[in-house]
A = this chain, B = another copy of it.
């Protein structure tokens, strides 16, 4: 069993081999995307799959009552937009200026059947996304707001684009509204969670988009939650 195991972020785990990327390029279109662009919406006919080249995308699903759940953020190397019986099950918009490869699903499907190796890469990507989704189920089912925020911050810290480990400065790619919809909380609760982590000396807010990570292992403690059995009192003094 691996010991502590912060999840390895998807983009760095398995990139496509050069020739596979090349064959994808032959059927794909490279697109420059402005910030805030909607690539597709739930219920639309799913004709394209997208491979992120640069930038960040937000994959979300909305209930009829205005609630929105952000399912995942997609960063370079990630693939999204697979069809659910012909239609998109989710929506996707860019959070930053971005560049993607837009791949016709019919062509990709064809290529997957012809190139089992390529298909296997995509299978592994899908497996990773599945794992990631499962981790989010645990987060939403078991953790309180502070723990969720700690989890989110620790996940981001694995991505060099966002975390300057030298200065312990973490750049947040999203605003509080998106963060709240990702964590499944109200924006106010997200802000309060930041306050709490700050008052415990684990992080320090510089701007709303940039924080200093003061105590990473403290963050990991928060994520794990208080030990229920055996010396629960050591961390039970929540009321600081």
User: In chain A between 119 and 168, which residues have their CB closer than 8 angstroms to a CB of chain B?
Assistant: 119-120, 122-123, 126-127, 129-131, 133-134, 136-138, 140-142
Q: How far is the CB of A177 from chain B (nearest CB, A)?
A: 14
Nearest 8 CB-CB pairs, A to B? Answer: A141-B184, A1-B43, A140-B140, A133-B133, A116-B116, A69-B141, A65-B228, A69-B138
A44 to chain B minimum Cβ distance, whole angstroms, is 8
A112 CB to closest chain B CB, in angstroms?
Answer: 6
Task: Give the interface residue-count category, chain A.
Answer: 35 or more
A115–B226 CA distance with the chains assembled, in angstroms: 48
A109 to chain B, nearest CB (A): 8
**Cα of A202 to Cα of B66 in the assembled complex, Å:** 25
Instruction: Establish whether residues A66 and B133, one from each chain, have CB atoms under 8 Å apart when the complex forms.
Output: no
Q: Which of A117, A127, A130, A227 has the most CB of B within 10 A?
A: A130
What residues of chain A have their CB less than 8 Å away from a CB belonging to chain B? 1-2, 8, 42-44, 61, 63-67, 69, 71, 82, 84-85, 87, 89-90, 109, 112-117, 119-120, 122-123, 126-127, 129-131, 133-134, 136-138, 140-142, 183-184, 224-229
